[in-house]
Amino acid sequence: MKKTEKKVIKTFKQKKLTMIIAAMIIFLDLAVVGYVLLRPSDSATEKRIVTVYDRGVQRAVVTDADTVQSALEAADIEIDPRDRVEPSRDTTLGSYNENIIIYRSRLVAVIDGGTRQTVLTVAQSPNAILKDANMKLLGRKDKTSLKPANLVNDGASAILNIKRVQVKAKKQQVVFKPRADALTASKGAHVFVDSDGVAHRETYYDLPMNIVIGACGKGGSYKIRSEDGAKIDQDGYVLIAANLNSYPRCSVVETSLGPGKVYDTGGFAAVHPYGFDLATDWTNYNGQ
């Protein structure tokens, strides 16, 4: 082989090697660029919508805070040490949409017959207020009225009137009135603010209620409401589970599905003392 031909072959091999190296470099560069472009940015993964319910007012903020406390600080919402926050302030925020409920401490004047007592409490239900005041809890037929008051004139921010009922109350049929913001199976969970401005975390469950239906002395059975699949008792009340310290068994409460009655409780009650778990037929669709 001539010297000139050898030189040409050597040059060709060098160029080929150079092209291979260049191609590898380009491939690596593209891989790095692709990783950077496809990788979720830190800010995108950390940004979330936090909805705060405070004294009946709903406020939504966009924040990259990772805990309840830091989200409240980012929103410039001050919390007194005596206030209650749900979930707790050190809870880590996980989902894109988060709900935070603030229960403010306040002075409540409790009037029970001839007794008047004032208590500083975050409790929102009459029974929970009575418990904090170390007063007699409600009977099944006792009536209550919890109204806002003027701190200067009344010496309290709210007044709780208790009417102890000794006679048998007349049974009334409950008429269901659908709400536009009612809980649905697709929502799974939401926050319902009742007519008194109290925020309740609502969820639903679908279990046979044959045992608990007798808890309020009715016995008999329950049925599935055709309009929305809610489980109701013989009087029309939606069967619900709740914290029995806040809402004694057989209490009538306001829910997004209409008037409900407390027949049951559950583990959720320890975390959400004013939350309601509504009995429905939304998963089994078998009428049980």
- DSSP annotation string for 17-48: HHHHHHHHHHHHHHHHHHHHHHSPPHHHHH-E
What is the per-residue pLDDT across 53-63, written as a single tens digit (0 to 9) for each? 998 899 999 99
Question: 237-263, pLDDT tens digit by residue?
Answer: 999 999 999 999 999 999 999 999 999
The C-alpha angle 128, 133, 139, rounded to 5 degrees, equals 55
Domain boundaries, the chain: 44-103, 106-163, 189-279
Examine the pLDDT at 26 and tell me if it is beyond 70.
no
Query: What pLDDT, on a 0 to 100 scale, did the predictor assign at position 288?
Result: 86
Q: Which residue has the higher pLDDT, 221 or 81?
A: 81
Residue 34 pLDDT:
45
> Are the C-beta atoms of 73 and 26 separated by less than 8 Å?
no
Q: Which pLDDT score, from 0 to 100, does residue 238 have? A: 95
The percent of residues above 90 in pLDDT, for the chain, comes to 67
Encoded tokens for 102: 């603030």
What pLDDT does residue 173 have? Answer: 59
Q: Averaged over 134-160, what is the pLDDT?
A: 92
In angstroms, the CA 146 to CA 107 distance is 12
Cβ distance 192 to 180 under 8 Å? no
- C-alpha 201, offset from chain centre: 3
Name which residue leads in pLDDT, 43 or 263: 263
Whole-number pLDDT of residue 14: 59
Is the pTM higher than 0.75? no
Helix H or strand E segment including 144: strand 143-148
CA distance 121 to 146: 14
Specify burial of residue 53 (Cβ count, 10 A radius: 0-12, 13-18, 19+).
buried
Which of 50, 85, 83 is CA-nearest to residue 66?
50
The CATH architecture to which 44-103 belongs is: Roll (3.10)
pLDDT of residue 59: 93
Q: For 213-237, how does the pLDDT look when each residue is reduced to its tens digit (9 = 90+)?
A: 998 876 678 999 998 999 999 888 9
